[in-house]
């Protein structure tokens, strides 16, 4: 092997590991946290039945949404939204609606790449609105975010009570984001009729599986029914098995890490009367999923916790994994756009955080 070849190989290896660190940093951090906290407390974390159930449901959700994506269902809808006027408004509302059903992370993995491929100015503003919209829409349903699913499952909340509690948050911010997006005037890209994708039978099948999964989450069907879509994918649609397993392992590590941390920090977790503010602040530094897992075993006020971790998805970039996904996709497509995105995102997101805190305090204490 020549010196030049060795140098190229070394550079390639360096870039390979750098790409892994950039792409899977959250997995590596959670894994380090799992190992480090286990060593500190002197034993491996324990997992409850409910935590295994949540991981099972998340896996099924990833399978089904991957199937819908590969079947072109999301592109079918999104390409039609590009046509006509008020593109920003339509994309923002589409993101809100989509996140209600397929989680905020999946919604952004669909909408942001589409946005980056459109011939539009002010993409940093639009992607920021989409990131906020995904957090807002996903907050409405028990299966919209991992933290919602865990709170819903852990406290055994009736569906109607869950919706009534979080609906003011979703309704207020849907109106606010819709108003901002309406006045973000962007030229409409040209989409030819022949470029529009067609709806497929494969998409219909996965849409049926999604409906069944929703009924499972709402306790209308037993969990073993989830074996049906799993068997279908394994036998007839194996490409849908290409889910984000790293994200599943990340949640597994989060569950274990927070079990360990709750043993160490249990003396002060949840002791504050202001569970909402505690959840907001923890979300800013840990992200809202770990914040939920840390607090859920120590608080009884599930409504304050639910509001806190969803409002806490605003603010800092790591407040929600969805924010990181939007940032990662934007900066990978828009070279040199990191500073512009961070400035735009921070301005919009911290304004939303402040508004969310005031909204909750005003509703709860009449301020």
Give how far the C-alpha of residue 174 lies from the chain's centroid of Cα atoms, to the nearest Å: 17
| Cβ atoms 165, 306 nearer than 8 A | yes
**Which pLDDT tens digits describe the chain residue by residue (367 residues)?**
555 554 454 445 555 556 555 566 667 877 888 888 888 888 888 888 878 888 888 889 888 888 888 888 877 776 777 666 788 898 999 999 999 988 898 888 788 877 876 767 778 899 999 999 999 999 999 989 989 999 999 999 999 999 999 999 999 999 999 999 998 866 665 555 556 678 888 889 998 998 898 888 888 899 999 999 999 999 998 888 888 788 788 878 877 887 777 777 655 665 555 899 999 999 998 889 888 988 888 888 999 999 999 999 999 988 998 898 888 778 877 777 788 999 999 999 999 999 999 999 999 877 6
Residue with tokens 């295994």: 52
| Segments of the chain assigned E as strands | none
197-217 burial code (b ≥16 CB/10 A, e <16): beeeebbebbbebbebbbebb
Rounded to a whole number of angstroms, the distance between the first and last alpha carbons of the chain is: 73
Match 């040209």 to its residue by tokens: 190
Burial of 177 (0-12, 13-18, 19+ CB in 10 A): buried
How many whole angstroms from its chain centre is CA 86? 25
Is residue 88 within 8 A of residue 186, CB to CB? The reply is: yes
């Amino acid at each position: 092997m020549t010196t030049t070849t060795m140098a190229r190989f070394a550079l390639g290896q360096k870039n390979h590991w750098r790409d892994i660190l950039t792409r899977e940093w959250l997995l590596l951090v959670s894994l380090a946290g799992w190992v480090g906290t286990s060593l500190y407390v002197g034993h491996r974390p324990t997992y409850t039945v409910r935590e295994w159930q949540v991981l099972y449901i998340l896996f099924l959700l990833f399978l089904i949404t991957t199937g819908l994506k590969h079947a072109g269902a999301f592109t079918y809808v999104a390409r039609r939204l590009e046509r006509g006027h008020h593109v920003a408004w339509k994309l923002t509302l589409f993101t809100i609606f989509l996140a209600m059903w397929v989680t905020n992370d999946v919604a952004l993995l669909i909408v942001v790449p589409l946005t980056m491929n459109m011939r539009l100015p002010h993409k940093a503003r639009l992607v920021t609105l989409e990131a906020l919209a995904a957090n807002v829409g996903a907050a409405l349903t028990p299966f919209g975010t991992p933290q919602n699913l865990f709170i819903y499952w852990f406290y055994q909340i009736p569906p109607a009570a869950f919706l009534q509690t979080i609906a003011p948050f979703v309704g207020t911010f849907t109106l606010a984001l819709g108003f901002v997006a309406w006045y973000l005037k962007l030229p409409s890209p040209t989409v030819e009729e022949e470029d529009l994708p067609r709806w497929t039978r494969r998409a219909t099948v996965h849409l049926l599986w999604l409906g069944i999964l929703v009924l499972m989450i709402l306790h209308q069907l037993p969990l073993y029914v989830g074996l049906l879509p799993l068997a279908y994918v394994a036998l007839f649609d194996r490409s849908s098995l290409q889910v984000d397993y790293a994200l599943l392992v990340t949640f597994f590590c989060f569950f274990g890490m927070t079990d360990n941390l709750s043993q160490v920090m249990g003396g002060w977790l949840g002791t504050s009367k202001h569970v909402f503010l505690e959840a907001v602040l923890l979300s800013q530094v840990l992200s809202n999923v770990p914040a939920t897992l840390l607090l859920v075993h120590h608080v009884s006020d599930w409504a304050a916790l639910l509001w806190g971790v969803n409002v806490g998805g605003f603010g800092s970039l790591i407040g929600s994994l969805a924010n990181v996904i939007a940032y990662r996709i934007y900066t990978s497509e828009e070279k040199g756009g990191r500073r512009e995105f961070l400035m735009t995102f921070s301005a919009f997101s911290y304004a939303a955080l402040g508004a969310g805190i005031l909204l909750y305090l005003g509703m709860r204490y009449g301020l």
